[in-house]
Amino acid sequence: MLRLGRREFAAHEPVIMAIVNRTPDSFYDQGATFHDEPALARVERAVAEGAAIIDVGGVKAGPGDEVSAEEEARRTVGFVAEVRRRFPDVVISVDTWRHEVGEAVCEAGADLLNDAWGGVDPRLAEVAARYGAGLVCTHAGGAEPRTRPHRVTYDDVMADILEVTLGLAERAVSLGVPRESVLIDPGHDFGKNTRHSLEATRRLGEMVDTGWPVLVSLSNKDFVGETLDKPVKERVLGTLATTAVSAWLGAQVYRVHEVAETRQVLDMVAAIAGHRPPAVARRGLA
């Protein structure tokens, strides 16, 4: 059982985490949800389309202008409070690596801290424990926040992913983060080249077999673009194919831009796997 905020999710229940970037320079939408009203409209649409989690980010993942902790908090804290007010049952996640920001957003009502940079600030897990929030434990290959990988090598990329994420998860639980609220994430593109991310996807079942719920952040990423030689705006089909494979291998949470399309993919895979009945089943029966 995965428990986040007021919500509980069964073992085979796929969960969509919708991305809402509060940045003016995000790689995918170039700041479309930087201002409050379009961002809130995005939340409303995502929830209507089937997202259970809203992931709010105040700093672009890649290199760019410096964003202080104060500015990151300014972009996210008030927005989290307003989403909490308007959508009391939605799970609110915040994508941050800084404990100061984590503290502020948890105070404002966040349920989950999405640490995409792999515990670079060890105090973030302490914040999650103090507030009873969930934590995403990600493999970033030891990369510093907002840096791109350069000639990264692994003897065995999945072995490294498992060692890091399981270590972070057990540490979080030892600090007091509820075990049922901890997720592990292979960190596609983070500290990895395209071949590493493809192998991490191919071997995702090894993460699922640990018993920790697995989150994947695949949406329109560079490994999809390089694999198909497609620019950012033409990566949706590759993303959805990777989503289907990840779902078949047992990942549970999907951080995405395209909610409705992802919902259909996940429902279809769940039906094939026998975890979900068809919405309609009258063919050959009428």
Catalytic residues: 221, 255
5 three-class SS: coil
Six-digit token string for 16: 């969509």
**Extended beta strands in 192-231, E state:** 215-217
State how far Cα 217 lies from the chain centre. 5
Rounded to an integer, what distance in angstroms lies between the CA atom of residue 155 and that of residue 129? Answer: 33
Look at residues 249, 242, 243, 164 and name the one whose alpha carbon lies nearest to residue 206: 249
CA geometry: angle 108, 256, 1, nearest 5 deg = 70
Contact assessment for residue 86 and residue 95, using Cβ atoms and an 8 Å cutoff = no
Cβ-contact 126, 99 below 8 angstroms: yes
The CA distance from 18 to 56, in Å, is 9
Q: Which two tokens stand for residue 158?
A: 């999945």
Cα separation of 191 and 271, whole Å? 34
Strand partners of residue 280: none
Q: In angstroms, rounded to a whole number, what is the distance separating the alpha carbons of residues 57 and 257?
A: 13
What is the C-alpha to C-alpha distance for residues 194 and 188, in angstroms, rounded to an integer?
Answer: 9
